[in-house]
A and B are shown apart, each in its own frame.
Chain A
Amino acid sequence: MATVQPLPVRAGRGTELVLLVLALAVGIGAYVLVGIGTSGEVPADVVGYSIGLTVLSVGMHVVLRWRAPFADPVMLPLAVALNGVGLAIIYRIDIGYEAAGKEHGFAGRQLVWTGLAIALAAAVIVFLRDHRTLRRFTYTAMVVSLVLLVLPLLPVIGQTINGARIWVRLGPAGLQPAELAKITLAIFFAGYLVTHRDALALAGPKVLGLQLPRLRDLGPILIVWVASLGVLVFERDLGTSLMLFGLFVAMLFIATERFSWVVIGVLLFVGGAALAANLFGHVQARFDVWLHALDPEVYDREVGGSWQLVQGLFGLANGGLFGTGLGQGRPDLVAYAQSDFVVASLGEELGLTGLFALLMCYLLLAQRGLRSAIGVRDGFGKLLAGGLAFVLAWQTFVVVGGVTRIIPLTGLTTPFVAYGGSSLLANWIIVALLLRISDDARRPAPAMQVLTIDDLPDPDEDDAVPADALPARTSSVAAARPARTGSDEDAHGDDHPTERIGGVS
Chain B
Amino acid sequence: MNTPLRHVAMVVVGMFLVLMGGVTWIQYHQAGSLNADGRNSRQLYREFGGPRGPIVVAGDAVARSVEVDDDFGRQREYPEGELYSTVTGFYSIVGKTALENAENGVLTGQSDQLFFTRVRDLLTGRSSEGAAVETTIVPAAQKAALEGLGSQQGAVVAIEPATGKILALVSTPSFDPNLIAQNDTAKATAEYRKLEQAEGNPLRSNATLETYPPGSTFKLVTAAAALENGYTPETKVDSPRTLRLPGTSTDLPNFGGESCGGEQVSLADALRVSCNTAFANVGMDLGVDALREQAEKFGFNSSELTIPMPVVASRFPEELDTPQTALAAIGQGSVTATPMQMAMVAAGIANDGVVMRPYVVDTVRSADLEVVSQTQPSELSTAVSPQTAAELTEMMVGVVRSGTGTAAQISGVDVAGKSGTAETAKGVDPHAWFTAFAPADDPRVAVAVIVERGGDMGSDATGGRVAAPIARAVMQAVLGS
Contact = CB atoms under 8 A, between A and B. Distances in A.
A428 interface: no
Nearest to B13: A363
Interface in A75-126: 99-100
A397 B13 CA distance: 11
A315 B40 CA distance: 9
Interface string A329-348: 01001000000000000010
Contacts of A401: 18-19, 22
A442 to B, nearest CB: 15
A352 B24 contact: yes
Interface string B11-53: 0110110111011111110111011010111100110000000
Given A254-B5, A386-B8, A318 B42 contact: yes
Contacts of A318: 31, 35, 40, 42, 46
A393 B11 CA distance: 10
A183 interface: no
A314 B34 contact: yes
Query: Which secondary structure characterizes the binding site on chain A?
Result: helix
A374 B71 CA distance: 54
Interface stretch (A2-10, A214-222, A365-373): A365-373
A131 B24 CA distance: 40
Nearest to A500: B1
Most chain A CB within 10 A, of B1, B24, B35, B40, is at: B1
Nearest to A375: B2
Given A317-B31, A362-B16, A404 B23 contact: yes
A393 B6 contact: no
A501 to B, nearest CB: 14
A359 B19 contact: yes
Contacts of A503: 1-2
Contacts of B26: 313, 316-317, 347, 404-405
B198 interface: no
Main secondary structure of the interface of B (DSSP, over half): helix
Contacts of B8: 250, 253-254, 370, 386, 390
Given A254-B8, A367-B9, A382 B1 contact: yes
A394 interface: yes
Contact of A386 (B5, B19, B31, B34): B5
Contacts of A362: 16
Contacts of A382: 1-2, 5
Contact of A406 (B7, B22, B30, B35): B22
B4 interface: yes
B3 interface: yes
Interface string A251-278: 0011111000000000000000000000
B324 to A, nearest CB: 46
A363 B12 contact: yes
Contacts, number: 135
A397 B19 contact: yes
Nearest to A312: B26
Contact of B27 (A316, A371, A390): A316
Interface string B289-301: 0000000000000
Contact of A333 (B2, B6, B27, B42): B42
A66 B71 CA distance: 52
B222 to A, nearest CB: 52
Interface string A372-394: 01100001001100100110011
A397 B15 contact: yes
A505 B1 CA distance: 9
A270 B20 CA distance: 24
Contacts of A299: 39
Contacts of A373: 5
Given A366-B12, A373-B5, A382-B5, A314 B27 contact: no
A170 B388 CA distance: 94
Given A314-B40, A383-B1, A404 B12 contact: no
A259 B311 CA distance: 68
A418 interface: no
Given A315-B42, A383-B1, A374 B6 contact: yes
Contacts of A315: 42
Contacts of A359: 16, 19-20, 23
A82 B15 CA distance: 19
Contacts of A404: 19, 22-23, 25-26
A330 B46 contact: yes
A402 B16 CA distance: 13
Contacts of A254: 1, 4-5, 8
Contacts of B4: 253-257
A386 B7 CA distance: 11
A294 B28 CA distance: 17
Given A313-B34, A317-B34, A374 B40 contact: no
A363 B16 contact: yes
A355 B23 contact: yes
B31 A379 contact: no
A400 B1 contact: no
A254 to B, nearest CB: 5
A177 interface: no
A257 B20 CA distance: 28
A445 B5 CA distance: 22
A248 B13 CA distance: 19
B2 A374 contact: yes
A257 B22 CA distance: 30
Interface string B406-431: 00000000000000000000000000
A400 B71 CA distance: 30
Nearest to B41: A333
Nearest to B50: A328
A256 B1 CA distance: 8
B46 A356 contact: no
A446 B35 CA distance: 61
B411 to A, nearest CB: 61
Contacts of B19: 359, 396-397, 400-401, 404, 406
B2 A310 contact: no
A330 B42 contact: yes
A505 B5 contact: no
A352 B28 contact: yes
A321 interface: yes
Nearest to B32: A317
A257 B39 CA distance: 49
A317 B30 contact: yes
B28 to A, nearest CB: 6
Contacts of B12: 363, 366-367, 370, 389-390, 393
A435 to B, nearest CB: 18
B371 to A, nearest CB: 28
A408 to B, nearest CB: 13
Contacts of B20: 356, 359
Given A330-B42, A333-B42, A400-B19, A320 B5 contact: no
Contacts of A310: 39
Nearest to B30: A317
B122 to A, nearest CB: 8
A91 to B, nearest CB: 20
Given A367-B9, A374-B6, 13 more contacts: A253-B7, A253-B8, A257-B3, A313-B30, A316-B31, A317-B34, A318-B31, A318-B42, A333-B45, A347-B27, A379-B1, A393-B16, A405-B22
12 contacts: A100-B71, A314-B35, A318-B40, A318-B42, A320-B28, A333-B42, A356-B20, A356-B23, A359-B23, A362-B16, A374-B5, A393-B12
Q: Which 10 A-B pairs have the closest CB atoms?
A: A317-B34, A404-B22, A317-B31, A352-B27, A406-B22, A397-B15, A314-B40, A393-B12, A370-B9, A363-B16
Interface of A: 99-100, 250, 253-257, 294, 299, 310, 313-321, 330, 333, 347, 351-352, 355-356, 359-360, 362-363, 366-367, 370-371, 373-374, 379, 382-383, 386, 389-390, 393-394, 396-397, 400-401, 404-406, 503-505
Interface of B: 1-9, 12-13, 15-16, 18-20, 22-28, 30-32, 34-35, 37, 39-42, 45-46, 71
